[in-house]
């Protein structure tokens, strides 16, 4: 079990259910009924996820503030348990990635925690990426070698841009020289994510010691660690799980899929996914229909990646302007209606859409879709 969770919950029945499901999902979990003890654990251990039984009292507020200022856990995914009648928007504003409603349902809890685990496993990055521009020689079984451009790197992975799409499930072998170095880094990895612009994230697998030393030396010389001021730390306690951002980025062919978007104009309607790094999304190929709000003319499209906050819609003639849209995705057992706003358009490619939620039910529908994606197989074969 390489993913760890902290459950801070005084209700023993709820805690038992959470611990059971986390264990089923392959996560090591530690439970404490005490918020004060939970704060001590935040200071001494790292957790990939924190589940808090939120009571809208001073102790809960202090715990959240401490979490987002914690050196070890300020980037952890936060799952809040709230009353069924409680308005969850302030909790999302305080950094929650997921919300569970009391009394806890086994089915809904399992769906939400599965989605959270899938996002953590697919997207977790233990060290920050450092921008780089270097040409790499890439090879994978069944294809000739190709050249790709490295765009950022850490000691655990890299992202690269290539004109040729790398298969999503394969082992990749490549070599490259980092700027200022003469020796080649040689290693293997696996595809972790892809987006519509041709960017591919690689998680390193087999790294020889000589290559690891080269990367660590370069990273030490080129990684900048800016110090956060008091205003930034205060903002971090109030904002999403990423202390520097409250919004999600949308993949686009002409820009990095990791770039952050500006603050939404209407935070009461726009999704705040509590993104730790500006990006928590699933690569996918979902057939869908998109409508301009107020019209009944369908436009066939493909959702190429999706997160709780938005998606990229592939279509030759994207809708123009900052218009509202409705996206319909049909699966074998449900029809999902998603409302959103067009943020970026790329003629010939598609458009980036940020979701807008009118109530908690619509957000839960997105979480259910993410949970299915997190479970493993693509939805392609399930589409009607």
pLDDT in tens, 79-97: 999 887 777 677 777 777 7
Please compute the mean of the pLDDT values over residues 185-193 and round it to a whole number. Answer: 84
Q: What is the DSSP string of 80-138?
A: EEEETTS--HHHHHTT-SEEEEESPPHHHHHHHHHHHHHHHHHH--SS--EEEEEEEEE
Asked whether the predicted pLDDT for residue 261 surpasses 50, the reply is no
CA angle 21–24–26, rounded 5-degree value: 115
Q: Rounded to whole angstroms, what are the CA distances from 12 to 19, 61, 85, 185?
A: 10, 21, 21, 51
Locate the domains of the chain by residue range: 3-123, 130-222, 245-382
Query: Cα–Cα distance between 119 and 279 in angstroms, integer?
Result: 10
Q: What is residue 39's three-state secondary structure?
A: helix
CATH number of this structure's domain 3-123: 3.40.50.2300
Indicate the pLDDT class of residue 274, thresholds 50, 70 and 90.
Answer: very low
Same fold, 3-123 and 130-222: no
Helix, strand, coil % (nearest 5) of the chain?
A: 25, 35, 40
CATH classification for the domain delimited by 130-222, as one of 3.40.50.1100, 2.40.10.220, 3.40.190.10, 3.30.160.40: 2.40.10.220
Q: Under CATH, what is the fold of the domain 245-382? A: Thrombin, subunit H (2.40.10)
- Considering only CA atoms, which of 120, 134, 119 is closest in space to residue 182? 134
Confidence tier at 3 by pLDDT (50, 70, 90): confident
Q: What is the pLDDT of residues 291-324, one digit of tens each?
A: 998 888 889 998 877 887 888 888 888 887 667 8
Do 344 and 252 form a contact (C-beta atoms < 8 A)? yes
pTM of the shown model:
0.44
Model confidence band, residue 372 (pLDDT cutoffs 50, 70, 90): low
SS3 338: strand
Give the burial string for 137-164 (b: 16+ CB within 10 Å, else e). Answer: ebebeeeeeeebbbbbbbebbbbbeeee
């Amino acid at each position: 079990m390489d993913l760890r969770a902290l459950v801070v919950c005084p209700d023993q029945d709820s805690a038992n259910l959470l611990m059971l499901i986390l264990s089923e999902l392959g996560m090591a979990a530690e439970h404490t009924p005490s918020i004060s003890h939970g704060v001590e654990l935040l200071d001494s251990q790292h957790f990939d996820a924190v589940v808090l039984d939120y009571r809208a009292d001073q102790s809960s507020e202090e715990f959240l503030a401490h979490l987002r200022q914690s050196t070890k856990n300020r980037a952890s995914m936060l799952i809040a348990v709230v009353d069924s009648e409680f308005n969850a928007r302030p909790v999302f504003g305080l950094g929650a990635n997921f919300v569970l409603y009391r009394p806890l349902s086994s089915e809904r809890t399992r769906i939400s925690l599965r989605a959270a685990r899938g996002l953590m496993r697919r997207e977790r990055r233990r060290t920050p990426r450092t921008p780089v521009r270097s040409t790499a020689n890439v090879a994978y079984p069944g294809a000739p070698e190709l050249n790709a451009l490295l765009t950022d790197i850490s000691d655990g992975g890299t992202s690269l841009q290539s004109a040729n799409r790398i298969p999503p499930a394969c082992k990749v072998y490549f070599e490259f020289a980092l700027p200022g170095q003469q020796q080649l880094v040689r290693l293997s990895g696996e595809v972790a994510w892809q987006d519509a612009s041709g960017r591919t994230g690689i998680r390193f697998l087999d790294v020889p010691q000589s290559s690891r030393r080269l990367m660590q030396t370069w990273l030490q010389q080129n990684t900048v660690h800016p110090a956060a001021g008091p205003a930034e730390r205060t903002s971090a306690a109030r904002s999403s799980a990423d202390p520097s951002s409250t919004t999600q980025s949308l993949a686009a062919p002409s820009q990095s899929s990791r770039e952050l978007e500006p603050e939404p104009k209407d935070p009461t309607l726009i999704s705040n996914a509590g993104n730790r790094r500006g990006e928590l999304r699933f690569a996918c190929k979902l057939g869908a229909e998109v409508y301009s709000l107020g019209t009944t003319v369908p436009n066939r499209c493909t959702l190429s990646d999706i997160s709780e906050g938005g998606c990229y819609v592939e279509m030759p003639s994207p809708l123009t302007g900052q218009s509202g849209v409705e996206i319909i995705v049909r699966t074998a057992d449900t029809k999902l209606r998603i409302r959103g706003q067009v943020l970026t358009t790329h003629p010939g490619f598609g458009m980036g859409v940020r979701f807008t939620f009118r109530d908690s039910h619509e957000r839960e529908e997105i979480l259910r879709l993410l949970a299915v994606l997190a479970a493993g197989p693509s939805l392609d074969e399930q589409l009607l």
